[in-house]
Chain A
Amino acid sequence: MKHMQKVYLVLEDASVYSGNSFGAPAPLPGDLEKNDPESMNTAAGEVVFNTSMTGYHEIITDLSYTGQIVMMTYPHIGNYGSMDAWSESLPDSRGTVSAAAAGLVVRDYYEGPILKGRRSLDDFMKEKGIPGISGIDTRRLTLDLRDHGTRNAVIVRAEGDKLSPGERESILRFLKKFPPMTGRNLLDSVGCGVISRDGHYEKADLGEVKKPDSADLHFALLDCGIKGNIVRELEKRGVQVSLLPSDTNLKQIEELGADALFLSNGPGDPGVLKKQIELTRQAIGKLPVYGICLGHQIISLALGAETYKMQFGHHGANHPVRNLETEHVFVTSQNHGFAVTREGLPEELKVWFINANDTSIEGIKHKELPVMSVQFHPEAAPGPHDGAWIFDSFISSAKESRAKK
């Protein structure tokens, strides 16, 4: 057997899973204390499980996973390697793709050769500083999270050949200080930092998308950690996009002359995003407002709805969503730990989509104004494309309201 570095996934309830290391080296327990838990975005975070059977690369580069350790329920991960072009996080100002998930937990990491032209997932994770742990009983952990809710955890290695009792204690001490997801504002660590009219994400390879010569519509995208494929889907449909930092104010947006405000997906608790909620409240009525995932939650909050933390959320590529306007049901990609509360939903909102399994809200529409949003991910990446038409809805709504002007 090849010698493999042992690493541990330690949960805040003191359960420990030992496995083998891949990706970036995990920190030593002693190092944990040196970090400020509030701003530590690798190795430690809330553990969530994702049931997608493909798309691990897109998942760990999805900025919505900031502050979370992702566990894949499908056992074999790494099978087909990695490609920078698959990354969902947009390049930072230096043009390199930033990572997202704090760690990756798998049952069986593939270490063998891969297709020419691709790199190994291990290699990619090393570059991005994401530690991984392989060989653990992911099913046990999944059932535990399902039955008892998500928890914070950290991936660590031991100084000796086993975790010493002392190390265990210091890890648990660290986890106690680690902030819970509820109440966490993570927007400072994601998204673009400067206003850019032509979208500086273009500096990196966003794939085959071609910008139309004469863009028809112009969307201002509030970047709360936006997935690259949202931009691609909009551009593909002839929309010109401007990526804006998440603390942009309405005045700046109005100066841009955008046709609509679009709120992106992103990490953390929507309930504490005062600035963005306020911005949205101001924008509604002035501009068409659309959103996906966190954006959807912000819009709902801005209109007076509430959000709650789910037991273990929806993370996967197989969630059935029912369109209440047509009764059509389709399969969606999802990734959220918070949802909009149905009770007390403001009068002016109507539910657009619900989850066909647990009936939670998956999308809303304003009864009069051009405001609509979805909880799931129509941009897929990874996952099925069945919801891609949502972008067409946004666009035709924006066109309609522009025509009315």
Chain B
Amino acid sequence: MPARKDIESILIIGSGPIVIGQACEFDYSGNQAVKALKEEGYRVILINPNPATVMTTPGTADAIYMDPLRIDYVEEILKKERPDAILTTMGGQTGLNLTRELFRAGILEKYDVEIIGASIDSIELAEDRGSFKKVVESLGLESPNSILTTSFKEAEAFKERNGLPLIIRPSFTLGGMGGSIAQSHEEFEDLVEKALQESPVGEALIEESLIGWKEFELEVMRDQHDNAIIVCSIENIDPMGVHTGDSITIAPVQTLSDREYQIMRDAAINILRAVGVDCGGSNVQFAMDPETGRLVVIEMNPRVSRSSALASKATGFPIARCSAKLAVGYSLDEVLNEITGKTVSSFEPALDYCAVKVPRFELEKFPMSYSTLGTQMKSVGESLAIGRTAMEALNKAIRSIEQGWEGLQELDTDEEELHKLLSSAHPLRIFAIYSLLKKFGPSYMETVMEQSGFDRWFLFQMLRQIELEQAFLQPPELERNSPAFTDLLLEAKRMGISDQRIADLLEISRKEVERLRLTADMHPSYHMVDTCAGEFSAETPYFYSTWGEIDEGSALGKDAVIILASGPNRIGQGLEFDTCCTMAAMAYRRLGRKAILINSNPETVSTDFNTSDRLYLEPLSSEQVTSIIRKEQCSDVVIQLGGQTPLNLAGELEEAGASIVGTKASGIDDAEDRGKFSALMKELGLRQPMNRMACSKEEVKLFAQEIGYPVLLRPSFVLGGRSMFIAYNEDELKDFFDRGIKATEERPVLVDQFLEDAFEYDIDAVSDGEYVYIGGIMQHIEAAGIHSGDSACVFPPYKSSEKVLEEMTWAAAAIARKIGVRGLLNIQFAVKDNQLYIIEVNPRASRTVPFLSKTSGVDLIDTAVRIWEGENLMDQGLVSMKSSGERKVGVGTCLYGRAIKEAVFSFDRFTNIDPLLGPEMRSTGEVIGLGDTFGEAFAKAQFSAGNTLPNTGKVFVSVNKKDRETVIPLIRKLISLGFDIAATRGTARSLFAHGIMSEVILKVHEGHPNVADNIRSRKIAMVINTPMGQFAQRGDDEIRTEAMRMKVPYTTTTSAAAAAVEAIEDIVKNPPHVQALLTGHP
């Protein structure tokens, strides 16, 4: 049936900020949906307050709202836009939950909005674990044994019957939050108690443990005519007990016989039918006992998901696009497979390769004990790699996560540690397995299987790699130019082993391996991802590399430009950069140049097969990139847009003959090298915080004294500002070294003057070498010392003198010219006592580029691309002689009263993490708030970030001495708005001194009921708490942790508190107001 004519406009709900478990895969899916529906002529309205996304780029949907994903705001949008339908399956769990709320509140009915995609009934059936279990049983399938209980006694009885371990999950918590595994009786008591407490309805699911079973996922599509297909089957290499999002997975399934697979396939389709998913995709998860073959259904998600994005990239089948088409009435066979251009979408993709996904964890930022992985997802990103064999794909995928691994390799730890890891659910387990197998040989396989639950098939593949690596080292050593060596080299390449790894094995340089390889004329060949295993010739060029096989696709030639994207999401480098790369590809294509994208992150829009002219799913390393340059016979490479990953390749690529687009490698070095950069700043007469490089503990102490406390310590060679540390006195210096950090000649520690209570600013600029365009200046709300990525910021600045802003503009232009920037530039400034300091210069696009582009109406990426293609800023009309005179500088302005960016964290995924902010970035995502006033914008930003600012209730205040004066006017304001105030003794006393009465509440260590108890019993609506430096007194962190757990908004700085109070005033006084995104200057 063709597209429905009875609906004209459709609202799509996005998934909001990036948090662990809900990342850019929903930008990818949403974006596909928007395109698919617009193609059909529908008016598409989008709501998503995530400014980093591609989908919220002006021009994608017909109307874009970046307002909070709350029913009151959505109602306003419905009122204004009157869409006919709402597509609910694109916004992850957030989208489903919001739809349910809208439905329950009767809002959809009120505005006569039809739900398309997944019906409310099917959402309820799939999402409620109890009713889903009934569906499963009605189909003659099995669920894990379990009980749903509100009583501890019942839980005990279940334990007696089933034994330990058991899985415990509180009911109705967000995203499976609070799920855990009880191994011992003590743990069981503890965890059940906690689960019952955490569940809003005091209920928990106690479930038989299937740890160690095989885990599978099927991606299913079904249409209204009951046509159904399996797009992709995925096997988890990490068995049950590790969340699929945290597992290394492989597509297709490897270890099932056809009979077993077909049973699972039937089950999946029957489940969709029973749940009533009849116009879209779903994901169904299974577990199977490896011994008996008993099959158990774990869950299903009636929407697009992380797995569906993965499946789309692994197969070439665009699940989200197809789901959107099905939602408006098409059947599967009416949707053409764009990759082949010949087949219909009711064809199940056939793979002739393996696709392996490896998750990326932030072990440094969120440390993990041995068995931390479990039923709740903890990884922050993932990479996908394709290879002809499982090992080729696995080795490439491990390299793609960019954590220093050259593929599967041994761990440098002792045997005891290896054994511990072997039986732990830990990100390093696979490396421990490899180490043990290498050490003890094939006879150890059974042991490994028993303890880890890894299937023998995967272990055997590892043994093959071990055998191969040993062949390199076996005496007699092979002549390096003998045919036998060349054969071995090719075999290693075919197994996905990098030049670097081979170099490490042979103890020679990477260059030498490369030389040997090139002498043997050994290059990768490229295969197409075509959905059909070569049965039809494909039209959409999506490639992966392999070795020693047919090379498909001819070179695009000089006309093409390669854009290096940003790899797996990590803290500090995520969706924003992917958006920059996607926008650049679009900009180049608009100008008629061919764009080639290289990326390894399957969640992204940049790896959508029609974003670029050619897509390579490859690790972002110089070996890979130079090979692609050779294949495509082009030379231009854009490295400014993918964050630090491509920037770090600049030198090597230039050396290999690539021509770096824009700022040259030397200019990049000027900004990145501390010494050179300091010299440049001196020349320009710009001030940096005082800084010294210390090569010993003693020097650190000495320099700290010289500079004066507080100081900011940065160990070198720690990526991304990790382990940055603020010391207020000598004792705290000691704490720094107690963390095991050393200062040596090779690894000096940088000692910086720490600018306390300074304002911080971020600037993004574009330069053509002569003219400079400042996209905008953003002022941070939190003081310097809180990482720019974690701080809220406001555009335009709200508390700044014209003079200082003028100075920043001048400084930015001077720096841009000095280091020869052609393209993008980001600078962080600090202002203390009206003095301007340069904190950092990044010669590349920054995290804030998408935010600024959207709020200023000038697409900075498009601007940069046009510069690279020869159109200077004057020609682009962004700098005019008249207005800027000799300075040759243009400055962007905000299209709205205020635009505020707020950081979003995923701390609630981890137990015992203090959410206190510092110079190390820990946020995973961001949201925007647009408003006429600061208060309105900040309120929306907070709502979107999930901080439910109250409009009534009791505010708890506990601030350090230094802040006691500062908070007085804020408290007065809150009282005038009708709030009650509670405080700890010291703060209360100071309030009283100012004539403010407050209720005194005990600190945590002072007895009960204390502040934590009060938070838990929901007596407190907001927390204002500023800590006493890094080593705040006891009790402090528990307040924050408890507030976070109970989702009570809290602020940890006075500036944030002031902003919150302004926002609360707006909420109290004004009804929600929504604002469609504007597209350019009026």
Q: CB < 8 Å: which of A320, A322, A330, A385 contacts B262?
A: A385
- Report how far A112 CA is from B331 CA in the complex, Å: 43
Judge whether B550 and A331 touch: CB under 8 Å. no
Tell me if A318 is interfacial: C-beta within 8 Å of chain B.
yes
Residues of A with C-beta under 8 A to B550? 137, 139-140, 143
- Report how far A111 CA is from B464 CA in the complex, Å: 10
Q: CB < 8 Å: which of A83, A111, A330 contacts B227?
A: A330
Judge whether A329 and B266 touch: CB under 8 Å. no
Tell me if A76 is interfacial: C-beta within 8 Å of chain B.
yes
Tell me if A74 is interfacial: C-beta within 8 Å of chain B.
yes
Q: CB < 8 Å: which of B343, B348, B460 contacts A112?
A: B460
- Report how far A260 CA is from B430 CA in the complex, Å: 58
Tell me if A382 is interfacial: C-beta within 8 Å of chain B.
yes
Chain B 339-365, CB within 8 Å of chain A: the 1/0 string?
Answer: 000111011111111100000000000
Tell me if A383 is interfacial: C-beta within 8 Å of chain B.
yes
- Report how far A322 CA is from B227 CA in the complex, Å: 10
Given contacts A142-B533, A327-B225, is CB(A137)–CB(B350) below 8 Å? no
Q: CB < 8 Å: which of A139, A320, A330, A380 contacts B549?
A: A139
Judge whether A139 and B534 touch: CB under 8 Å. yes
Chain B 432-465, CB within 8 Å of chain A: the 1/0 string?
Answer: 0000000000000100000000001101110100
- Report how far A143 CA is from B527 CA in the complex, Å: 11
Given contacts A79-B255, A139-B550, A356-B344, is CB(A51)–CB(B457) below 8 Å? no
Judge whether A357 and B344 touch: CB under 8 Å. yes
Tell me if A384 is interfacial: C-beta within 8 Å of chain B.
yes
Tell me if B952 is interfacial: C-beta within 8 Å of chain A.
no
Q: Which among A83, A108, A147 has the highest number of chain B CB atoms within 10 Å?
A: A108
Judge whether A79 and B254 touch: CB under 8 Å. yes
Tell me if A262 is interfacial: C-beta within 8 Å of chain B.
no
Q: How many residues of B contact A (CB 8 A)?
A: 58
Shortest CB-to-CB span from B688 to chain A, Å, is 55
- Report how far A385 CA is from B533 CA in the complex, Å: 21
Tell me if A146 is interfacial: C-beta within 8 Å of chain B.
yes
Chain B 898-928, CB within 8 Å of chain A: the 1/0 string?
Answer: 0000000000000000000000000000000
Chain B 353-386, CB within 8 Å of chain A: the 1/0 string?
Answer: 1100000000000000000000000000000000
Residues of B with C-beta under 8 A to A49? 533-535
Tell me if B955 is interfacial: C-beta within 8 Å of chain A.
no
Judge whether A322 and B333 touch: CB under 8 Å. yes
- Report how far A107 CA is from B527 CA in the complex, Å: 14
Residue of B nearest to A381 (CB): B258
- Report how far A1 CA is from B464 CA in the complex, Å: 9
Residue of B nearest to A315 (CB): B535
Tell me if A316 is interfacial: C-beta within 8 Å of chain B.
yes
Residue of A nearest to B334 (CB): A329
Tell me if A110 is interfacial: C-beta within 8 Å of chain B.
yes
Residues of B with C-beta under 8 A to A308? none
Which residues of chain A (64-88) have a CB below 8 Å from chain B?
73-76, 79-80, 83, 86
Residues of A with C-beta under 8 A to B344? 320, 329, 356-357
Residues of B with C-beta under 8 A to A382? 258, 262
Which residues of chain A (32-57) have a CB below 8 Å from chain B?
49, 51-55, 57
Residues of B with C-beta under 8 A to A358? 342
Q: CB < 8 Å: which of A114, A318, A328, A385 contacts B350?
A: A318
Judge whether A54 and B332 touch: CB under 8 Å. no
Residues of A with C-beta under 8 A to B471? 1
- Report how far A53 CA is from B258 CA in the complex, Å: 9
Tell me if A113 is interfacial: C-beta within 8 Å of chain B.
yes
Judge whether B346 and A329 touch: CB under 8 Å. yes
Chain B 259-273, CB within 8 Å of chain A: the 1/0 string?
Answer: 101100110000000
- Report how far A83 CA is from B536 CA in the complex, Å: 33
Q: Which among A55, A318, A322 has the highest number of chain B CB atoms within 10 Å?
A: A318
Tell me if A138 is interfacial: C-beta within 8 Å of chain B.
yes
Judge whether B352 and A112 touch: CB under 8 Å. no
Tell me if A281 is interfacial: C-beta within 8 Å of chain B.
no
Residue of B nearest to A322 (CB): B333
Judge whether B535 and A331 touch: CB under 8 Å. no
Judge whether B388 and A331 touch: CB under 8 Å. no
Chain A 1-42, CB within 8 Å of chain B: the 1/0 string?
Answer: 110000000000000000000000000000000000000000
Judge whether A58 and B225 touch: CB under 8 Å. no
Tell me if A157 is interfacial: C-beta within 8 Å of chain B.
no
Residues of B with C-beta under 8 A to A385? 262, 265-266
Q: CB < 8 Å: which of B226, B266, B354 contacts A75?
A: B354
Judge whether A54 and B257 touch: CB under 8 Å. yes
Chain A 92-116, CB within 8 Å of chain B: the 1/0 string?
Answer: 0000000000000001101111100
- Report how far A73 CA is from B344 CA in the complex, Å: 20
Tell me if A151 is interfacial: C-beta within 8 Å of chain B.
no
Tell me if A319 is interfacial: C-beta within 8 Å of chain B.
yes
Residues of A with C-beta under 8 A to B343? 320, 357
Judge whether A51 and B225 touch: CB under 8 Å. no
Tell me if B252 is interfacial: C-beta within 8 Å of chain A.
yes
Shortest CB-to-CB span from A193 to chain B, Å, is 29
- Report how far A397 CA is from B1031 CA in the complex, Å: 83
8 additional A-B pairs beyond A73-B352, A327-B225, A329-B333, beta carbons within 8 Å, are: A49-B534, A49-B535, A53-B351, A107-B388, A112-B456, A330-B346, A358-B342, A385-B262
Residue ranges of A at the interface with B (Cβ–Cβ < 8 Å): 1-2, 49, 51-55, 57-58, 73-76, 79-80, 83, 86, 107-108, 110-114, 137-140, 142-143, 146-147, 312, 316-320, 322, 327-331, 356-358, 380-386
